[in-house]
Amino acid sequence: MGAAFTLHQTDAESGARLGRLHTLHGEVPTPIFMPVGTQGTVKGLLPWQLEAAGTKILLGNTYHLNLRPGSEQIAALGGLHGFMGWAGPILTDSGGFQVFSLAKLRKIEREGIRFRSHIDGREVLLSPARVVEIQANLGSDIAMVLDECPPAAADRSVCGEAVERSLRWAAGAREEAQRTGFLAGGHHLFGIVQGGRFPELRKACAKRLVEMDFPGYAIGGVSVGEPEEEMLPQVAACTETLPGNKPRYVMGVGTPPQLLRMIALGADMFDCVMPTREARHGIAYTATGKLNLKNQRFRDDARPLEESFTDHPLGRFSRAYIRHLIVSREILGAVILSYHNVRFFLDLMKHARRHIAAGTFKDWSSEWISRYRHEQPGTT
């Protein structure tokens, strides 16, 4: 298989890029948002609902799927695509984020990360070679190298050690992907830039990863507790250093305004659990901000989630009805909001692509963010 990415256009007034990912399971337009299916499912949504919402690529998680049901079992059942009934592209994280999120259950060693399973307590070692093997079993279109994700407050020495360890593991993962034919078979492996809140570390990490010539690059270790004013410079330090002919994936972000700002910095791919997680708590994303449908103000509100929903599949449901489902703890309420929120994020990417193509992204995104940030009804 050829290159992972084709860059079609760069916005003249910003760094926003229009491109296309090439994978074994189809083409993906960028910028793109990936709904998160950690355990082999995007919570509350069936595959055809994801398709109807405009999903082009999903994210799964190596750490969790390896623990349960196990990557070998998934391989025997048709790989992750066949197992979960999803025919489109899948990207899988390597487990590096669990270094941060499961800090009490892991030990970082030279050869990898040793976890104590949160399910049954058994010991599991994720090494650079093992994460490639697991993702090969899953049949991932895009696999990630093993990396160490330090917390936001980590000092420079800790972040520097994490960078060196991540670079060593990245080289090991790339070697394994070449040795086993994973790359030759058309799968892609992305390196991950670390460095915490230190731009010089991020730039140095990015340069050394570029020398390894990965099919694509991810920006890790953002949105791990730092404020937005620190997050965006971290992303900028990476996109300024990474090659223009390779895809750039910002891991684990973000809010709609953050996504648009990162697109303007030259980022191409994003994922985040917020659309479905917030849906389960009664939150709906709209063009003017978030609605907290648990709020009493929506008890008799006959309007749809968005006033423009004249021919939208969710236009038949009133805010009052969805609120009733949420406060009654009916599953359908979370399903409706999950579908709505995922579609909202994907529609935002579609509009961004259209405006990049038209050369109007800078003005459109600025107006969009201003409207979203200053009009947020029903958030209390």
Q: In angstroms, rounded to a whole number, what is the distance separating the alpha carbons of residues 253 and 225?
A: 12
For Cα atoms 244, 246, 247, give the angle at the middle one, nearest 5 degrees. 110
Tell me how long the chain is. Answer: 380
Is 271 marked active-site?
Answer: yes
| pLDDT value of residue 263 | 98
Is 311 marked active-site?
Answer: no
Sequence ranges of the domains in the chain: 5-272, 281-374
Closest C-alpha among 16, 19, 25 to residue 7 = 19
Closest C-alpha among 290, 293, 303 to residue 341 = 290
- Per-residue confidence in pLDDT tens, the chain, 380 aa: 568 999 999 998 999 999 999 999 999 999 999 999 999 999 999 999 999 999 999 999 999 999 999 999 999 999 999 999 999 999 999 877 776 777 788 899 999 999 898 888 899 999 999 999 999 999 999 999 999 999 999 999 999 999 999 999 999 999 999 999 999 999 999 999 999 999 999 999 999 999 999 999 999 999 898 988 999 999 999 999 999 999 999 999 999 999 999 999 999 999 999 999 999 999 999 999 999 999 999 999 999 999 888 788 899 999 999 999 999 999 999 999 999 999 999 999 999 999 999 999 999 999 999 999 754 544 44
- Which residue in 93, 141, 268, 301 is the catalytic one? 93
Read off the pTM.
Answer: 0.96
| pLDDT value of residue 128 | 96
225 within 8 A of 186, measured Cβ to Cβ: no
| pLDDT value of residue 118 | 84
| pLDDT value of residue 236 | 97
Q: In angstroms, rounded to a whole number, what is the distance separating the alpha carbons of residues 17 and 8?
A: 8
Give residue 132's identity as a one-letter amino acid code.
V
Q: Residue 314: exposed, middle, or buried by beta-carbon count in 10 A (0-12, 13-18, 19+)?
A: middle
Closest C-alpha among 254, 248, 151, 162 to residue 204 = 162
| pLDDT value of residue 117 | 87
| pLDDT value of residue 165 | 96
| pLDDT value of residue 104 | 83
147 within 8 A of 126, measured Cβ to Cβ: no
CATH top class, domain 5-272: alpha beta
- Which residue in 11, 141, 271, 301 is the catalytic one? 271
| pLDDT value of residue 375 | 47
The sheet with strand 5-10 has its strands ordered as 5-10, 17-23, 26-30
Closest C-alpha among 142, 45, 4, 26 to residue 88 = 26
| pLDDT value of residue 182 | 98
